[in-house]
Amino acid sequence: MTESLQVASGEAGIFEQFPGGVFPAACSSRVLLDHVMSKWGVLVLVSLTDGPQRWSELRRRAQGVSEKMLAQTLRTLEADGLVDRDQKPVMPPRVDYSLTPLGEELAEVMVPLLRWVGRNAEAVIGPSDPAGSSRSS
């Protein structure tokens, strides 16, 4: 039971990498983890899996994202070298976002996770009960 996961992941456990804890607090891993696992970061990255997309396209596909958060997310991912921004000097302006090679690499390990969530969400959470299991405080 305990070691099955480490075998399944193909190599030794993740804790050989970080013996003291999961990830040391306040290290670069935590920062990147927060960027990448952020609510909108995940959706943007996975959306771009489908190929280069424009701003308005991303807004539609990552349903519910505000302009502010989309801009902030894209700037963060771009600064991290995961997303490429291609602005065409035309009028009206046209900007295409796409995954960098590094971003594609990340997406390769992200997509299986998303697919798992998609498969198991209804069984775990329920058909349509967003309030049911998010009772905080």
Distance CA(58)–CA(63), nearest Å, equals 8
Residue among 95, 55, 50, 100 at smallest CA distance from 73: 55
Q: How far is the CB of 38 from DNA (least distance, A)?
A: 6
Question: What is the separation, in whole angstroms, between the first and last Cα of the chain?
Answer: 33
Nearer to DNA by C-beta: 10 or 64?
64
Q: Is 6 in the site for its own copies (CB under 8 A)?
A: yes
Binding segment toward DNA, per CB under 7 A, in 6-14, 43-51, 89-97, 119-127: 89-97
Enumerate residues 66-85 that contact its own copies by CB under 8 A. 72, 76, 79-82
- Which amino acid appears at position 115 of this protein? R
DSSP secondary structure letter of residue 17: T
Q: How far is the CB of 97 from its own copies (least distance, A)?
A: 13
SS3 state at 20: coil
Torsion of CA 33, 76, 134, 26, to 10 degrees: 40
Residue among 21, 6, 86, 15 at smallest CA distance from 48: 86
- Out of 94, 101, 102, 126, which residue is the one contacting DNA (CB under 7 A)? 94
x-or-dash pattern for its own copies, window 18-57, by CB under 8 A?
x-xxxxxxxxxxxxxxxxxxxx--xx--xx-xxxx-----
In the complex, which residues of this chain contact DNA (CB under 7 A)?
38-40, 54-57, 64-69, 71, 74-75, 85, 87, 92-95, 97, 136-137
